[in-house]
Structure formats: C-alpha cells, structure tokens
Structure 1
C-alpha cells in the first residue's frame, strides 16, 4: 500500500493513475493483482463495444479461459456466435448485433446500409447486418448477416471506428449500386447528403476511383444533379421526368424566401410568379414543417403576389406526364410563350393536351 500525499503517490504518479496496476481506495494507492487489472480491461472493452466481446479479445486482455467459462456458466455472458459473447441475457440492440457480426468474422467491417446507419448513429433496429471482409477469405454464413467480399478492403476500411466500418462514401455507393429501382438508388444517394453525413463532392470523388462499380455512369449523373441542388428523390424525379422530359422551362432551385418566415423554396419561376414546392418526405414529414410550409405559401401570395403549387410523390412518380401538362398550362396562363413536348412514353398526356 502506498500512502498518497497531496493527491500524489510517493513515487510521483497522480492519484488518478488507477487504470494500470494501482487502484485508489480512501486516499490510498492500492496494489492490484494482475487478474484484477485484466478484469478491468475486459470491462472497459465491453463498455467500448456495447456490451459485446470475443473470447480472443478477453484472452488478450489478460484473463484466462476459466474466466470466460465462469462468465458463461453464471449467465453473465451469453454466447451469440462461437467465441462471441454479449454481457446480458436480453434481446440484442442493433449496435450489439453489429458488433457480434464484426467480431465473429474478424477482421471485418460494417458495410453497405450498416455502415451508413452506424455513421448516422440512428435508424431501423431490424434488417440484416452487412459486413465486408477481404476477398481472399471465406467466412461462415450466419442468419441475419450478409457478407460482402472486397478487394483492397484496407483502402476503404476505418478500423478505428466503433464498430469498424467502411468509409461512408463507399458504403453509400455500394448501396446505390445494389438498388434495382431508380427511386431507391436516388434515395441512397440523396438521403446521406441531406442528413449531412457526406457531401456530393465526396461521393463524386469516391466514385471516380471506382469506374467498374455497377451503374457507375448513371450514379455519376445523379450525383451531379444532387450537387447542383437536387437534394431528394422527389426533386430528382421532378427534374428528370416532369421538367426535362417534357421541355418545361428551368426554374431557380432552393430560392430563399423574401418575405415572412425564413426558408427556401424548392422551385421558383421568377418571371412568371410561380412557386413549385415538392412535398416529399425530406423535411416535410412532421406537423411543424408542414405548418411552416403553409405559412410560406401564404406569405408568398400576400407579400409577393406569387402562386404556389405543391407536387408530391404521386404527381412525380405515378403521373409525371399529367403533372407536366398541368404545370405547362399554368405557366402559359402566367405568360410563358414556350411549348412543352411529349416524352418518350407512347401514352404521354402531352400528346393529346398539346396536339394543336
């Protein structure tokens, strides 16, 4: 036992130096046994890993196999996979499932949707855990875990994060490339930018190093649109299938409001006094946001003599041609002298509406 004087041990170490072989009790530094130190390391690792630890990690902390067996026998630890344990008997959280998957296949990192969710820090608790391992390895399949094999894993892996994961830009690109529907692909790219866990510039830079990625050219076009201010699936759909496909004039995007509450208007045709708001799920899905939207509509009508129309997913995805025809009619009433054209669809509504 070493008596402390003025908060410092006789050997000159500060009293808080209790994480090594010394503990502090009632103002004294107490020499601890190696087993106590090892047990502390185990507890520290459990805290860092959401209550999950592997047998290999425990042994590296300094405990022996008997320590692990005792924890399991007492039900203090529960085996999830061979050699991977969680320090409780209840249901696993998403973070614990992620740690279990990574430790079971170590060295491995979270990838795809799981890496994006880990970066966000929140999200759905259900669904499979996606992990990425080196392409030269073979990993045992587990229920609820999807294994992806990757050449050059070290180049995109962040081994020091908790849990380890691929860089978010590569995770986002992997998610987008695996999508079968365009709407899902655009959401994979737009949502992370909207939530500010990455930027369009970073995604473009990462994609430039992956020319063989599935759908790379289309993903690049979408990212360039996102970079120009198209920040949601709905906005991209409106741009490509309503506006461009039918020859409508290009509005200004994300225009600051001039009167009333501060905010931005999705699209504004300044010359014609028309505002088109895209009422999608990003930033429009709660009562307060909707109230603010309605207030901006009133301010625009009263303070600036501008008309506001709202376009939702049904108008952009299910009825893009009809929507384009209606907006074109409205713009013409407001002074637009241009003429829209039908898109490539044989049943495009503009073939009849603007035949003459």
Structure 2
C-alpha cells in the first residue's frame, strides 16, 4: 500500500525572505517559492496575512509600522524608486515635517506604476543623484526631500519651519537647497522660493521669518541683520541674537516656549541676555504668539526702542563680524545669497 504524504506547508520556504523584509513580500516572491494565488487568498481571508498594496502582502496581521509601510511602498514600485517628501523627512527625523499617511516615491519617467493605497507615484525625468541607500529602499537626499515636501504644502508657516530646520540642524546646506530650488523651477514653488529667500537672509526659524515680515513693513527701522556674528571689543565671540540693529545696538530674540521648559534652557537664555547686556546691548524678547497676533504692537515697540536709543546716543562696544555659522550660536551655515552667474530667487 502506497502512503501519500500530506502536502508540505509552503510557509517555511519564505521565512528567511520574510525576516529580511520585515514580513512584507510581493506576489512574485511568493510564487517563486511555490505559494500559489489560492493560498494567498485563503491566508488573507482568514486574517493571517493582509494585502497592503496591489500584489504586495504583509505576512502578519495588525497595524504595520512605518518601516513596514516604507518597505511595502518600495516593493510595490519596484527597483529605482526613491522615497521623498514628508515621509522622507520623517525618516530623517525632522521635527516640523507634516505628518501624512501617504508616501511619495519618485520613479523613472517610463515606469508603469500607478498610485495606490498609501503610495503616491511621482514620475521624474531625473532621479536624485544623492539618494541614500536604506537597504530595502532608497531615500532622497534631505535637500530634494525638503523641496519636494514643501511643493505640496499650502501653509507658508510650515514651509518656513521645514526649510529653516533643514539648515538649522545641518540636515543639508544652502548650496544643495539652491540646486533643488533651481531644479524645481516654477512648478508649485512660490512658497518654497519665498521661504528660501528668507533663509538666505539669515532667518533660521518660522517665528523669525514672521518677525522679519512684521518689521519689514516699518518705514522707520533700518535694515536688520539676522543671526549676525557678534564680537566683543577684544574680538571674542558673543551670543548670536535672532536679529540685530547695529546703529542702535538692539538685539531681537524670538523666545519659543518649547525651548525654555527645562531649567538648563532658561539659564542658557539668561546667560545669553546678560552677556550681551554687559556690553551695552538692549535685548527685546518676543514670543511667537505675540508676533503672530499683535504684529503692529511688536513693530511699534521695536520702532520706539530704536528711536529712543538713537536719541539718547546709546553707545555699544559690540562689533558685527558677519553672519553666524557655528552650532554653539544655535545657527546653521550661511552663504552669500547670490552666486556669480546664477539665480534661484526669481
């Protein structure tokens, strides 16, 4: 009598693949190891697996992690796809990146893949030459991801925050951002170009940009230097204020509550205040909420202080040595706004 053995469960054949891809696999991979469509259907219907994207399965139930969703997106679009936009910024650890459910992937222009599920397919004539390899997928460079993310935003405050954070935390530099703004051209880049122009002038946060916009409407104040490199009379480095009016020795500080919750942060702010004050600098502090809700009052306070200091002949020993560029001064790199032979702010 011939004994017929029971069919072998095909799942052990994909254990290594599943472990390597965090339990995300494609239909083609399943077929390669001998698992047919009927078995995929049964496992999915029983709730043991789940269909994440067309022809893309998670061999687990429950909510997927962000990493599993990134892997699924990359497997779905195929080789050559590059994660960009807000999802890429979240991967890098941007604090002010918008939280979105959908993931944007750049693919070669001739790729025949449509957007589906949580994946938005962007066809591009040129992919990012500086993309980073994350193992199972590629991540666009921070500069490309910043510009791509900001092109999809309609809120100038968020665009400012993302653009400023990219420089403030040294995710990228102005040269790289400049290249990406030029590459994007005029396609949905009005807010991008406005925020980038502010960064070029030294602004390093969204509240700073709002203060700059508030004070730029003044007919009294002279040009304000943003994030200057200040020196003492002996050439020693001094703390860098957010803005500075050299003719009246007035420093402007935007004090966000989130950076003053810890005692150490508060002491650091006081030390900066005292260090500038002992050289004769007047420091004016403004919370972002006041700049946003009472711009006329903020502008009037600065104008009155400037007028009073000028009338009293206030003297100060502080020298302006140029833009700040050190992490100790809480600022990122700063470049000359225009380079010979090229423009990105049009």
TM-score by length of 2: 0.68
Unaligned runs of 5+ in 1: 1-34, 338-356
| 2:213 alignment partner, one of 240, 248, 259 | 240
Query: Superposed, which structure 2 residues align to 1:192-203 within 5 Å?
Result: 192-203=166-177
Q: Which residue pairs with 1:113 in the alignment?
A: 86
Residues 191 and 122 (structure 1), Cα distance of their counterparts in 2 relative to 1, 3 Å cut: closer
Equivalent of 2:34 in 60, 64, 78: 64
**TM-score when normalising by structure 1:** 0.67
User: Structure 2, unaligned stretches of length 5 or more?
Assistant: 1-9, 313-346
1:189-237 superposed Cα distances (whole Å, 9 cap, x missing partner): 2122222221222111122122232235x53353243133211111222
Q: Does 1:174 align with 2:137?
A: no
Closer, same or farther: CA 125–184 of 1 in aligned 2, 3 Å: closer
1:93/1:125 contact within 8 Å kept:
no
The answer to whether the Cα contact below 8 Å between 1:246 and 1:324 also exists between their aligned partners in 2 is: no
Aligned to 1:300: 276
Q: Which has the larger radius of gyration?
A: 1
- Measured at CA, do residues 229 and 66 of structure 1 come closer, stay the same or move farther in structure 2, by a change above 3 Å? same
Check whether the contact 1:55–1:68 (CA below 8 A) recurs between aligned residues: no
Closer/same/farther in 2, CA of residues 138 and 52 from structure 1, 3 Å limit: closer
**Does the aligned pair in 1 maintain the 2:53–2:116 contact within 8 Å?**
no
Assess if the C-alpha contact under 8 Å between 2:94 and 2:162 holds in 1. no
Higher mean Cα deviation, 147-156 or 310-319?
Answer: 147-156
Partner of 1:42: 17
Contact 2:86 2:97 in 1 (8 A): no
Q: Indicate how the Cα distance of structure 1 residues 189 and 247 shifts in structure 2: closer, same or farther if over 3 A, else same.
A: farther
**Distance in 1 between residues matched to 2:97 and 2:246, nearest whole Å:** 41
Indicate the structure whose relative CO is greater, using CA pairs within 8 Å and at least 6 residues apart: 2
Q: Aligned partners of 1:156, 1:90: CA distance in 2, in Å?
A: 36
Count matched residues: 293
| Partner SS, residue 172 of structure 2 | coil
- DSSP 3-state at the match of 1:308: strand
